Amino acid sequence: MKTPVFTGSGVAIITPFTNDFVDFVKFGELIEQQIAAGTSAIIVCGTTGEASTQTIPEHLATVEYAIKKADGRVKVIAGTGSNDTAHALMMSQNAEKSGADALLMVTPYYNKTTQRGLVKHFEYIADRVGIPIILYNIPGRTGMGFTAEAYRQLSKHPNINGVKEASGSIELINQTRLLCGDDFYIWSGDDSATVPIMSMGGVGVISVLANIMPAETAQLAQLCLDGKFSEAMQLQTKLYELMNTLFIETNPIPIKTAMNMMGMDVGHLRMPLCEMAPDNEKKLRDVLVKYGLIK
């Protein structure tokens, strides 16, 4: 029986940038804030961390820094997915050498391989690393997603721990639970889907919201783990407007903008991501005021 990499709330942490590299002083502050607030795992260099516009040296250094800063207090999961299998393997092996607890690997984007190719891609990497892999299903960004049958095949591999599910398909989760049973773990990849997915056996969330409300996100996930779904749904409903507003433009544009509005000074977005449209920025500011996060 496999053990889940983590349970509860994992933060898909942003990457704070200076003009030419990563702001590691600020990054360290953010990690400490997450640990203090009860976050169970730090997911570094994922979509929210703008990994797609990091250089290889930046990516490797960011993963290594997060591992050293966390110092075993929480799990550190490194985003190492790529549309190039060889590149994904290289990044994964480097993360493992740095001491990462697990890997988060998105489906190969742009190539749009077959389901057979998906299985071969992840099995190839899983055969060559010694730490768990969490698959990442987000077809809205990658152009392709998993079927439940592909999950079934991949669930047999001892190094494939489960999936971050951001497909929005409850039917897929139903099918996956049926085919894979209890030895393939599911994490919500959307804050607003946390309670539905965890009520179906999910073990946690990989959260964008946790960047600004880590304690509340941890509480939401813990209520689900405790089987208190009515209370969890009340909390999710309370947080829903903020969750939704953090996706009025492409992630991580709103969350990074929100953090800067809150005085967290996390730096700029990297092109081709850019500043929010003025009307959306006003909507975001108004919601942050409503939730008491800014005045």
With beta carbons less than 8 A apart as the criterion, state whether 68 and 41 touch: no
Q: Which of 26, 65, 69, 136 does the annotation list as catalytic?
A: 136
Q: What would the two tokens of residue 20 be? A: 């030419």
Annotation says 151 is catalytic: no
Annotation says 136 is catalytic: yes
CA distances from residue 284 to 143, 250, 274 in whole angstroms, order as listed: 28, 13, 15
Q: Report the 10 Å Cβ neighbour count for 156.
A: 11
> What's at 224, amino acid-wise?
C
Q: Which of 26, 164, 185, 256 does the annotation list as catalytic?
A: 164
Q: Kindly list the catalytic residues.
A: 136, 164
